[in-house]
Amino acid sequence: MKRLDQVLANDGVGAELELVIKDVMVACKDIAYKLAQGELAGILGATEDENVQGETQKKLDVISNDLLKDILIANPYVRGIGSEEEDYTVAGNAGGKYLVTFDPLDGSSNIDVNLSVGTIFSVLEAQDDQSGDNQEVFLQNGRKQVAAGYVLYGPSALLVMTTGNGVNFFTLDRNIGEFVLTKSNIQIPEDTAEFAINMSNQRFWEPEMKQYIDDCLAGEEGPLGKRYNMRWVASMVAEVHRILVRGGIFMYPYDSRDPSKAGKLRLMYEGNPMSMIVEQAGGASSTGRIDIMDVEPKGIHDRVPVVLGSKNEVAKVVAYHSK
């Protein structure tokens, strides 16, 4: 079986980027081991702090953030990092070529109930010589990503990643402490009859999204002509992983609960990396109106409406928005 470093070398990934990805994995393995220990490691429960998004931080959000931040800012090739749990971007090495953004523990409402969570990361190249504590250097659209991935901490820990050459699955072999290749060249089925959305927000959606979901619920007799199934794990990493394995469509659309926010999910460390993975696996990813990776960020914590998954179903949702 091939190890992650062998696959990266085969894909022609340069030594510097490889060392950045390997450091992300050192932190992720540590997170995986801590999660597996659960209550025994004393890492469950909330802190008394809120992050910049106004969300209460879980102990494990903070621990995971510190693991990733500490190893990455010490990496000579990392100019800086941006994290869901850091108010501002943090400088690494002034000579570093790469910028890493991450959500250290996504789906964190699942931590205390022992359900799936994940780490999401995205790597960009610094385009000029500004320091990594200046967020301007990060403000590039998703097409500029040179690598994107997530680690899903489920019954097994899985790394799913792309460097622009297709999508591979790696499983953490705890006996040797390495991620080994377990599936390559992942392709998302183009059609699906399975959607994932938090239905409790329905009354806050735009009319186009309401109409699409109403038509899904109408089943065979409705305009979409098929009977849909629904899933909602409340963990984007788990939803995207299900879609990579068996197809589907995941949506966290714009809603009017807080008009200052364009959606719940964040562009630079949730929307963009997941979009790169999904597109590299033959799927599609949109705000409902434009491709997520074409959205120009204005701030490191920008939010974005997300519609991603099986290509033909995403195209239907986009068509509802252009009516």
**Toward ligand AHM, which CB reaches closer, 96 or 305?**
305
**What does the per-residue mask of binding to ligand AHM show for 231-250, with x meaning CB under 6 A?**
---xxx--------------
**Toward ligand AHM, which CB reaches closer, 90 or 233?**
233
Nearest in space to 111 (alpha carbons), one of 173, 178, 48, 37? 37
| SS3 (DSSP) at 253 | coil
Is 229 one of the binding residues for ligand AHM (CB under 6 A)?
no
Q: Which residue is nearest to ligand AHM (CB)?
A: 236
- Specify the pairing of strand 178-183 against strand 168-173: antiparallel
Q: Bridge-partner residues for 196, per DSSP?
A: 250
**Nearest distance from residue 300's CB to ligand AHM, in Å?**
14
- CA torsion sign for 285, 287, 293, 299 is negative
How would you classify residue 33: left for phi > 0, otherwise alpha for psi between -120 and 50, otherwise beta? alpha
- Specify the pairing of strand 78-83 against strand 98-106: parallel
55 binds, among Mg ion, ligand AHM, none (CB under 5 to 8 A by kind): ligand AHM
**Nearest distance from residue 85's CB to ligand AHM, in Å?**
9
- Specify the pairing of strand 229-230 against strand 194-196: parallel
Q: Show binding-site residues.
A: 84, 103, 105-109, 198, 264, 270
**Toward ligand AHM, which CB reaches closer, 84 or 313?**
84
Is 198 one of the binding residues for ligand AHM (CB under 6 A)?
yes
Is 61 one of the binding residues for Mg ion (CB under 5 A)?
no
**Toward Mg ion, which CB reaches closer, 150 or 205?**
150
Residue 47's Cβ-side half-sphere holds a number of Cα atoms within 13 Å equal to 15
Residue 1 contacts by C-beta under 8 Å, 6 or more apart in sequence?
180, 181, 182
Among 18, 85, 103, 255, binds ligand AHM (CB under 6 A): 103
Is 55 one of the binding residues for ligand AHM (CB under 6 A)?
yes
Is 46 one of the binding residues for ligand AHM (CB under 6 A)?
no
**Toward ligand AHM, which CB reaches closer, 33 or 204?**
204
Is 108 one of the binding residues for ligand AHM (CB under 6 A)?
yes
Residue 311 contacts by C-beta under 8 Å, 6 or more apart in sequence?
188, 190, 282, 283, 284
Q: Show binding-site residues for substrate.
A: 106-109, 198, 264
234 binds, among ligand AHM, Mg ion, none (CB under 5 to 8 A by kind): ligand AHM
**Toward ligand AHM, which CB reaches closer, 4 or 262?**
262
**What does the per-residue mask of binding to ligand AHM show for 128-167, with x meaning CB under 6 A?**
----------------------------------------
Within 10 A of 141 (CB to CB), how many other CB atoms are there? 17
Listed in sequence order, the DSSP H helices in the chain are 4-10, 15-37, 59-73, 207-217, 236-246, 272-280, 311-322
**Nearest distance from residue 238's CB to ligand AHM, in Å?**
8
DSSP 131: -
Is 187 one of the binding residues for ligand AHM (CB under 6 A)?
no
Q: Which range, of 69-77, 229-237, 254-262, 310-318, touches ligand AHM by CB under 6 A?
A: 229-237
Whether 98 contacts 138, CB under 8 Å: no
Question: In whole angstroms, how far apart are CA 59 and each of 15, 64, 78, 290?
Answer: 34, 9, 26, 36
Chain contacts with ligand AHM (rule: CB under 6 A): 55, 84, 103, 106-109, 198, 234-236, 252, 264
Interface residue list for Mg ion (CB under 5 A): 103, 106
